[in-house]
Amino acid sequence: MLLRVRVEFEGGASGHEVSGEGHSTDLNVTGCSVESTQSLSPGIYLTLRIYLSDSSQPVNVTLARVRWVKDSLFGVEFIQVPQNDQLRLNGLTLDTLEDETTSIPQASLNPQAVPYTILVVDDDPAMRHLCAVMLARDGFKVLEASGSTEAMAICTAHVGDIHIALVDVMLQPPTFQLKPEKLHSPRVHGHTLAIGLTAKRKELRTIMMSTNSKASLANNGIDLSDVPFLLKPFSREKMMTVIRQQLGGRTDSVAP
The per-residue pLDDT for range 118-128, each reduced to its tens digit, is: 999 998 877 88
Identity of the highest mean pLDDT range in 52-56, 164-168, 191-195: 164-168
- What is the 3 state secondary structure string of 131-177? HHHHHHHCCCEEEEECCHHHHHHHHHHCCCCCCEEEEECCCCCCCCC
pLDDT for 48: 95
Would you say residue 208 has pLDDT above 90? Answer: yes
* Positions of E strands within the chain: 5-13, 16-24, 31-35, 45-51, 59-70, 73-80, 117-121, 141-145, 164-168, 205-210, 229-231
Report whether 50 contacts 58 (CB < 8 A). yes
* Mean predicted confidence (pLDDT) in 205-228: 89
pLDDT at 94 over 80: no
pTM beyond 0.85: no
Report all structural domains of the chain as residue ranges with CATH numbers, in order of start: 5-98 (2.40.10.220), 107-246 (3.40.50.2300)
* Share of residues in the chain with pLDDT > 90 (%): 32
pLDDT > 70: percent of the chain: 79
